[in-house]
């Protein structure tokens, strides 16, 4: 869309439910009339949207913590944009807001479901990344679910991704003595150390994950932020010290599986070491947002929290961006720029 008076909007709908890895045929680009807001609602011209791993689970028609996407309907997800029409005085025209009706150029949402973003405090991109649920996930993982204590050794998987690239830096600020990240490929591994303040990086594509982790953490690991599951979770359990804590954030290694994925075969080690494995759904930690933003906005401003985005242009490229993110093509947060 080129201006606020456009009459048509493009949106991405779920065309089929994928079995295994999705493809471009999973999605459909549809052009519709720009919707009109009703009482208490606002019309938003979206400028950026997020694609995230959890969206893969919503493509399956199975019960979960969040309802599945509907076939033939626009997908959903975090987005930010500018209010171009308002029927609720608390959110004025011209305000920049975040909301959950992404995957489309124009969205109508209840004003109560949108949050005004202060773009003088941080960039719009930051509100979908470090200042959004991505950053909150990392913060909740390391302060509530698997809290870091002074001197801890911390291990993070998918460490060059949206959550992982923030988590390592938070661990350092919380007093970790050593922070180790795992990523795929030498370039990402290098950037963990050079850009995201990790002490050591593991390139899991080299193999021998457990051996690499043992070399990076010869005295063991106290805290593990699990974004991958599978072999990474097994290696982390093997490296855990007595009383270690594991935050189970995601399991991207299994999201496209067509059969049940076996769990780690060394779970008894977790029992013997009195390790805590605790799941995390970020929706349970939304009340932490003010605390997190109060810290993160300052860190972003003074440069002590470094972030990166991988940005793809055009709503029509959103499916390709999602598929690329699932294959690990992004560094930091994967975003789609919808308009300006």
CA atoms within 13 A on the CB side of 334: 21
Both tokens of 111, joined, read 């004003």
- CB contact at 8 A, 204 and 156: no
0.75 exceeded by pTM = yes
Residues facing 83 on adjacent strands: 44
Angstrom distance (rounded) from CA 88 to CA 101: 18
Q: What angle do CA 126, 132, 134 make, to 5 degrees?
A: 100
- Residue 168 DSSP SS3: helix
What 3-state class would DSSP assign to 169?
Answer: helix
- For residue 15 the two structure tokens come to 């065309």
Strand pairing of 106-110 and 333-337?
unpaired
| Residue 128 φ then ψ, to 5° | -100, -5
| Domains, the chain | 8-129+307-337 (3.90.180.10), 133-283 (3.40.50.720)
What's the first-to-final CA gap in the chain, in angstroms?
9
Per DSSP, the three-state class of 120 is: coil
Please give the chain's pLDDT, 340 residues, in tens.
334 557 899 999 999 999 999 999 999 999 999 999 999 999 999 999 999 999 999 999 999 999 999 999 999 999 999 999 999 999 999 999 999 999 999 999 999 999 999 999 999 999 999 999 999 999 999 999 999 999 999 999 999 999 999 999 999 999 999 999 999 999 999 999 999 999 999 999 999 999 999 999 999 999 999 999 999 999 999 999 999 999 999 999 999 988 888 889 999 999 999 999 999 999 999 999 999 999 999 999 999 999 999 999 999 999 999 999 999 999 999 999 997 6
Q: What is the pLDDT of residue 298?
A: 95
Per-residue pLDDT at 340: 60
pLDDT at 262: 82
Cα 40 from Cα 62, distance rounded (Å): 33
C-alpha span between 107 and 283 (Å, rounded): 22
Spatial separation of the C-alpha atoms in residues 86 and 220, rounded to whole Å: 55
């Amino acid at each position: 869309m080129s201006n606020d008076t456009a009459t048509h909007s493009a949106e991405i709908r779920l065309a089929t439910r994928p079995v295994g890895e999705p493809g471009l045929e999973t999605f459909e680009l549809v052009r519709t009339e720009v919707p009109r807001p009703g009482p208490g609602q606002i019309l938003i011209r979206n400028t950026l949207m997020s694609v995230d791993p959890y969206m893969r689970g919503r493509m399956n028609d199975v019960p979960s913590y969040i309802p599945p996407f509907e076939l033939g309907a626009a997908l959903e997800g975090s987005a930010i944009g500018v209010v171009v029409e308002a029927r609720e005085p608390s959110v004025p025209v011209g305000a920049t807001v975040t909301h959950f009706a992404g995957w489309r150029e124009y969205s109508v949402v209840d004003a109560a479901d949108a949050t005004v973003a202060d773009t003088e405090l941080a960039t719009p991109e930051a509100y979908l990344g470090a200042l959004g649920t991505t950053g909150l996930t990392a913060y909740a993982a390391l302060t509530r679910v698997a809290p870091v204590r002074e001197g801890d050794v911390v291990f993070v998987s998918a460490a060059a991704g949206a959550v992982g690239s923030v988590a390592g830096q938070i661990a350092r600020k919380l007093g970790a003595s050593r922070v180790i990240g795992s990523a795929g490929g030498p370039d990402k591994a290098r950037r963990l150390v050079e850009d995201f303040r990790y002490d050591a990086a593991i390139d899991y594509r080299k193999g021998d994950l457990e051996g690499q982790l043992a070399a990076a953490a010869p005295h063991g690991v106290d805290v593990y932020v699990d974004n991958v599951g599978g072999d990474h979770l097994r290696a982390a359990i093997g490296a855990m010290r007595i009383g270690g804590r594991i935050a189970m954030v995601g399991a991207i290694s299994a999201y496209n599986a067509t059969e049940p994925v076996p769990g780690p075969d060394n779970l008894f080690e977790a029992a013997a070491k009195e390790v805590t494995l605790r799941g995390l759904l970020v929706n349970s930690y939304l009340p932490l947002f003010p605390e997190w933003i109060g810290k993160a906005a300052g860190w972003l401003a003074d440069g002590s929290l470094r972030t990166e985005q991988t940005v793809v242009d055009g709503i029509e490229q959103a499916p390709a961006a999602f598929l690329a993110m699932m294959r690990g093509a992004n560094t930091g947060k994967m975003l789609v720029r919808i308009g300006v």
